[in-house]
Amino acid sequence: MTDITTDQTADDSSATPPRFDDFGLAPPIMQALADQGYVHPTPIQAKAIPIVLQGHDVMGAAQTGTGKTASFSLPIIQLLMAHANTSASPARHPVRALVLTPTRELADQVAENVKAYSRHTPLRSTVVFGGVDMTPQTAALRSGVEILIATPGRLLDHVQQKTLNLSQTEIFVMDEADRMLDMGFLPDLQRIINLLPKQRQNLMFSATFSPEIKKLAASFLDKPVLIEVARSNATADRVTQVVYRVDEEDKRDAVVHLLRGRDLKQVLVFSNTKIGASRLSRELERHGIKAAPIHGDKTQNERMAALEAFKNGSIDVLVATDVAARGLDIAELPCVINYDLPYSAEDYVHRIGRTGRAGASGDAWSLCSDKDVRLLADIEKLIRQKLTPVELVGFEGRSARNSGDKNHAERSERPERSERRPSDRGDRTASDRPRSASAPAPRREKIDPWFLKPYEPSEPAQAQTEPVLSKSSKTAPPIRRAALLGGGGNKT
Ligand code: AMP
C-alpha cells in the first residue's frame, strides 16, 4: 500500500438522499433490492458501492448493522455479472470473489445476504465454516460457485483437501478484520492471501483501525480508498445509556427486575464469560423469562437454533458473549443490557451499537458493581461522556433485604453466592481477569431513569411520580421488534 485516499463524498444531509437507481446496477440486482424493500442505500453503501464498482481497493470503517454487507456484496455481484452463465459445467463457475469472516454466524449471514441479492442472476454462491460436516460443503464447491463466503480455518481445510481452487479469485473481502486479528487468525489470513492471484481487488472492513489493522492493510491493500461512516459515537447519541449501580451479587436479580419491569422483548444481554452467559440464561428461565445463551462453547446448531428462536420471538432474551454476538446480524434492538461491563471499552461501543440504529432510539443499560468501576472509567474516556451510575429504582438488592431482616433467614436459602464464585473465576482467562476492586466507588445518585429518556413529543403527558419500571404501567413504551437477518423479508 503506497497511500490511502480518503473518500471525499460530502455528508450533506440536506441533499436528496441517494437511491439505488443511481449506481447503474443490473436489473436482476435492482429486482432483488426491490424484493428486500430497500430503496435508499445506507451511508456506507452510498460511499462504497461506486468506489468498488470502479475497481478500487477499499478500507472501510464500519460495523455490523450499518449495511456494510450490501456495500460490498452488491458491487461484487454487479462486477461478476460479466461472468454470469447458466452452464452446468463446474469449470464455468470458478471462485471469483472470496469473502472471509471471523465467525460462523457472520459467514452464514453474509451468505444469506449474497444469496438474496444474487437470486435473480445465474451467479452461484455458497458458505463454508467449521463445526459442521464438510461433505455438503465439498459437494457445493465441486459443482462450482462464483462467490464463496468462508471462515479462515475451514477454508484452509478445503484447500488442503483439494476441494477448492482460489487461483481465479478476482475480488477478496476481509470482513471484520479487527475481530479476525483478535481471534488469532493472522497466520491463516497470510496463508490464504498467498493462495490468491497477485492481481485482484481487495476490500477490507473493520470497526476499529488499530496499528495492527493498519499494518495488515498495508500488507495487502493497493492504494485503498478509505471509507468511513458516522463514528460509533454518533450511534450512541440515539441510545439512552443508563448505568445502574448494583452489588455484584445482585446482578442477576437486577437483570430480572429490568426485564420484568418493562416486559421487554428481544433484549440482548452481554456477559463477559461463557459460564456467566449460561448461568444467567438459566436464572432468567427459572424466573419465567424465555432466554437462551449464545457463546463459543455452543455447537453451531445450538447457536443457530437460539438465534432463530430469538428472531421468531419464541425467546425474548439472548445472553451472549462479545465474540458470539459480534457476528450476529441483529439490528435495531430496542434494548441491550450489559450484565458485565466489557473488559475492552471498544466492545462497549459495539454492544450499544446494537440498538439505536437507523434513526431509532434504543436503551443500553449497564450494571456496574465496585469491581466494574475502572472499566466504566475506560468507557467514559473512550466515548468522551460521563456515565454516572444511578440507583435502580424499585430494586432491593440482597444486602439491603438482608440488612432489613434481623435473622438473615434468606441467606441460608440462597446457596448460589458461595457456589458461584470459584467457577466465575475459573471461566476467565488471565487477561480477562477483572481489575482491582479497590478502586473508588462511583458517586451514587438517585435519579429516576425516566428523566434520562430523550424527549418524545408524540407521547401523552405522563405522571412523573410514577416509577418508570412499574410492570403494569400504562405509560410503558411500545415494544419495538428488531429487524433481523437479511432485511425486509425476515423482519419480525
Ligand atoms: P449489515 O450491516 O450488513 O449487517 O446490515 C444490517 C441490516 O440492515 C441487515 O438486516 C440488512 O438486511 C439491512 N439493510 C442493509 N442495507 C439496507 C438498506 N439499504 N435499506 C434497509 N435495510 C438495509
Q: How far is the CA of 472 from the centre of ligand 1 (A)?
A: 35
Q: Which residues, in sequence order, are CB contacts of 179 under 8 Å at separation 6+? A: 102, 103, 207, 323, 326
**Average pLDDT rounded to a whole number, residues 330-346:** 85
**Average pLDDT rounded to a whole number, residues 258-280:** 89
- Ligand 1 pocket, residue 69 CB under 6 Å: yes
- Mean pLDDT over each residue of the chain, to the nearest integer: 78
Residue 14 located in a structural domain: yes
Q: Which atom of ligand 1 is nearest to the CA of 63?
A: 2
Q: Nearest-CA neighbor of 146 among 91, 203, 74, 67? A: 91
Q: How far is the CA of 66 from the centre of ligand 1 (A)?
A: 7
Q: Whose CA is nearest to atom 17 of ligand 1?
A: 67
Asked if residue 17 and residue 60 are part of one domain, the reply reads yes
Last residue of a domain, one of 179, 194, 229: 229
Q: What is the pLDDT of residue 298?
A: 77
Residue 435 located in a structural domain: no
Asked if residue 247 and residue 147 are part of one domain, the reply reads no
Last residue of a domain, one of 395, 427, 455: 395
Asked if residue 247 and residue 221 are part of one domain, the reply reads no
Q: Nearest-CA neighbor of 65 among 351, 479, 363, 366? A: 351
Beta bridge partners of 363: 240, 335
Report the domain count for the chain.
2
Q: What is the pLDDT of residue 374?
A: 93
Q: How far is the CA of 354 from the centre of ligand 1 (A)?
A: 13
Residue 446 located in a structural domain: no
Exposure string for 378-393, b = 16+ CB within 10 A, e = fewer: bbbeebeeebebbbbb
Q: What is the pLDDT of residue 58?
A: 96
Q: Which atom of ligand 1 is nearest to the CA of 485?
A: 10
Q: Whose CA is nearest to atom 11 of ligand 1?
A: 487
Residue 406 located in a structural domain: no
Asked if residue 296 and residue 192 are part of one domain, the reply reads no
- Ligand 1 pocket, residue 101 CB under 6 Å: no
**pTM of the full predicted structure?**
0.58
- Ligand 1 pocket, residue 483 CB under 6 Å: yes
Instruction: Kindly report which listed range (157-161, 427-431, 449-453, 482-486) carries the lowest average pLDDT score.
Output: 427-431
Asked if residue 173 and residue 29 are part of one domain, the reply reads yes
Q: How far is the CA of 158 from the centre of ligand 1 (A)?
A: 30
Asked if residue 153 and residue 15 are part of one domain, the reply reads yes
Q: What is the pLDDT of residue 411?
A: 31
Residue 272 located in a structural domain: yes
Tell how far CA 435 is from the center of its chain. Answer: 25
Asked if residue 289 and residue 148 are part of one domain, the reply reads no
Q: What band does 470 get if pLDDT is binned at 50, 70 and 90?
A: very low
- Ligand 1 pocket, residue 331 CB under 6 Å: yes
User: What is the Cα–Cα distance from 295 to 274, expressed in whole angstroms?
Assistant: 6
Asked if residue 7 and residue 133 are part of one domain, the reply reads yes
Q: How far is the CA of 63 from the centre of ligand 1 (A)?
A: 11
Q: What is the pLDDT of residue 347?
A: 84
Residue appearing with cell numbers 478445503: 158
Asked if residue 135 and residue 158 are part of one domain, the reply reads yes
To test the ligand 1 pocket, which listed residue (20, 42, 68, 492) has its Cβ within 8 A of the most ligand atoms? 42
Q: What is the pLDDT of residue 141?
A: 98
Q: Nearest-CA neighbor of 121 among 22, 25, 46, 203? A: 25
pLDDT tens digit sequence for 369-380? 999 999 999 998
Q: What angle do CA 487, 290, 260 make, to 5 degrees?
A: 100
Q: Which atom of ligand 1 is nearest to the CA of 40?
A: 19
To test the ligand 1 pocket, which listed residue (103, 203, 329, 354) has its Cβ within 8 A of the most ligand atoms? 329
Q: Whose CA is nearest to atom 14 of ligand 1?
A: 67
Q: How far is the CA of 132 from the centre of ligand 1 (A)?
A: 27
Residue 190, C-alpha cell as written in the block: 497470510
Q: What band does 359 get if pLDDT is binned at 50, 70 and 90?
A: low
Instruction: Kindly report which listed range (57-66, 246-255, 328-337, 384-393) carries the lowest average pLDDT score.
Output: 328-337
Tell how far CA 224 is from the center of its chain. Answer: 25
Q: How far is the CA of 342 from the centre of ligand 1 (A)?
A: 26
Residue 491 located in a structural domain: no
Domain that holds residue 204: 2-229
Residue 407 located in a structural domain: no
Asked if residue 216 and residue 292 are part of one domain, the reply reads no
Q: What is the pLDDT of residue 13?
A: 47
- Ligand 1 pocket, residue 261 CB under 6 Å: no
Beta bridge partners of 368: 245
Asked if residue 254 and residue 359 are part of one domain, the reply reads yes
Last residue of a domain, one of 379, 395, 411: 395
Q: Which atom of ligand 1 is nearest to the CA of 66?
A: 2
Instruction: Kindly report which listed range (202-211, 282-291, 425-434) carries the lowest average pLDDT score.
Output: 425-434
CATH of the domain at 268: 3.40.50.300
- Ligand 1 pocket, residue 60 CB under 6 Å: no
**Average pLDDT rounded to a whole number, residues 302-318:** 87
What is the maximum alpha-carbon separation in the chain?
A: 81
To test the ligand 1 pocket, which listed residue (21, 22, 36) has its Cβ within 8 A of the most ligand atoms? 36
- Number of residues assigned to the chain: 492
Give 403 or 280, the one with higher predicted confidence.
Answer: 280
Residue 422 located in a structural domain: no
Asked if residue 212 and residue 314 are part of one domain, the reply reads no
Q: What is the pLDDT of residue 6?
A: 63
Q: How far is the CA of 109 from the centre of ligand 1 (A)?
A: 11
Give 211 or 63, the one with higher predicted confidence.
Answer: 211
Instruction: Kindly report which listed range (108-117, 203-212, 352-361, 372-381) carries the lowest average pLDDT score.
Output: 352-361
Q: How far is the CA of 71 from the centre of ligand 1 (A)?
A: 9
Q: Which atom of ligand 1 is nearest to the CA of 486?
A: 12
